[in-house]
Amino acid sequence: MPELPEVEVSRLGITPHLIGQTVAKLTFRTPKLRWDIPKALKNIEGQVIRNISRRAKYLLIETDAGSAIVHLGMSGSLRVLDAEIAPSKHDHVDLKLTNGKVLRYNDPRRFGAWLWTENGEHQVLDRMGPEPLTNEFDASYIAAKAVNKRVAVKQFIMDNKIVVGVGNIYANESLFSAQIHPTRPAGSLTDNEWLRVVKEIKQVLDTAIKQGGTTLKDFAQADGKPGYFAQELRVYGRAGEPCPSCTEAIQEQKIGQRNTFFCDTCQH
């Protein structure tokens, strides 16, 4: 599933091709993805695209009339192509521009979403925590949220109400780099440990964005190239392999129904 770095990489990839362009036509080849596609999305036709922003894992294609909200789901991707290129089997949405280009949305599993907002507000954007790469997300903020919390720290940092966009891959990697065991209760971390966790979350996400995201199965950048952060993974998906720090075997267990990878020796 594309996580925050992959969504940010997609935003960076499509933005230069869309900003300032006029939408000629919006075409849907399916009435429903994860949710029904609202007819109000047609309001984007004839509008100039002013900005492409991101909130958590949602992209907002902003115009004066409102914004299309796009979620890539588990297997979605966005490509900017020449409009005359015929759509393939899983190309469900075309945002055609007057310059002859098209933003094409492909989603084999159809678990993504295209929604509409006139004022920037929508229920899918409600009750979200701060963005992890902003100053709003710091050690004092998350330490205060963690007081008396018994939930495992890995689940805690993956909770979008606490901080958005720290998906499973990056939670595993951040906790390993911070030397924090993923099963520890969130309320048990000290202020200094939260400083390490926040620092590593920011570092891991920033590096992943610079590397073009992580390609495991479905994700590709807007130009079709894979993300290269998979080459940087130190524990995720490496159960049984030697820890890169101490050579003990990487362990795996389920935490909150998600595969979790860690080193019992290095993480405390």
In a domain, 22, yes or no: yes
Q: Supply the CATH number for residue 97's domain.
A: 3.20.190.10
Q: According to the model, what pLDDT value does residue 211 have?
A: 80
Q: Which residues of 75-111 are buried (b: 16+ CB within 10 A; e: fewer)?
A: bbbbbbeebeeeeeebbbbbbbbeeebbbbbbbeebe
Q: Are residues 121 and 143 in the same domain?
A: no
- 5, 56 contact by CB (below 8 A): no
Q: Is residue 11 part of a domain?
A: yes
Among residues 258, 175, 169, 241, the alpha carbon closest in space to that of 208 is found at: 169
Is 149 annotated in a binding site? The answer is yes
**Domain identity same for 8 and 87:** yes
Residue 244 domain flag: yes
14 three-state secondary structure: helix
- Establish if 267 belongs to a structural domain: no
Identify the pLDDT of residue 210.
Answer: 84
Structure tokens at 87: 């759509």
Same domain for 143 and 234, yes or no, is yes
Give me the pLDDT at residue 221, please: 41
Q: What is the pTM of this model?
A: 0.88
Q: What angle do CA 78, 83, 84 make, to 5 degrees?
A: 130
Domain shared by 115 and 164, yes or no: no
**Do residues 87 and 27 lie in contact, with contact meaning Cβ atoms separated by under 8 Å?**
no
Tell me, yes or no, whether 56 lies in a domain: yes
Assigned token pair, 119: 């004022």
pLDDT tens series, the chain, 268 aa = 678 888 998 899 899 999 999 999 999 999 999 999 999 999 999 999 999 999 999 999 999 999 999 999 999 999 999 999 999 999 999 999 999 999 999 999 999 999 999 999 999 999 999 999 999 999 999 999 999 999 999 999 999 999 999 999 999 999 999 999 999 999 999 999 999 999 999 999 999 888 865 443 333 345 555 444 455 789 999 999 999 999 999 999 999 999 999 999 999 9
The reported pLDDT for the residue numbered 228 is 40
**CB neighbours of 192 closer than 8 A, spacing ≥ 6?**
none
Rounded to an integer, what distance in angstroms lies between the CA atom of residue 96 and that of residue 104?
Answer: 8
On whether residue 134 sits in a domain, the answer given is no
State which residues form the domain around 170. Answer: 139-262
| Cβ atoms of residues 168 and 182 within 8 Å | no
Coil/strand/helix, residue 176? helix
Confidence (pLDDT) at 215 = 40
Amino acid 217: pLDDT: 39
**Structurally, how many domains does the chain consist of?**
2
Q: Which of 125, 154, 178 is the last residue of a domain?
A: 125
Residue 131 lies in a domain: no
Residues labelled as active-site residues: 2-3, 57, 258
- What CATH number is associated with residue 201? 1.10.8.50
pLDDT at position 1: 63
Task: Tell me how far apart the 2 most distant CA atoms of the chain are, in Å.
Answer: 59
Spatial distance between the Cα atoms of 113 and 115, rounded to a whole number of angstroms: 6
Examine the domain organization and report whether 50 and 100 are in the same domain.
Answer: yes
Give the C-alpha separation, 68 to 49, whole Å.
10
Closest CA to 64 of 85, 39, 36, 45: 45
Provide the token pair at 67: 């914004």
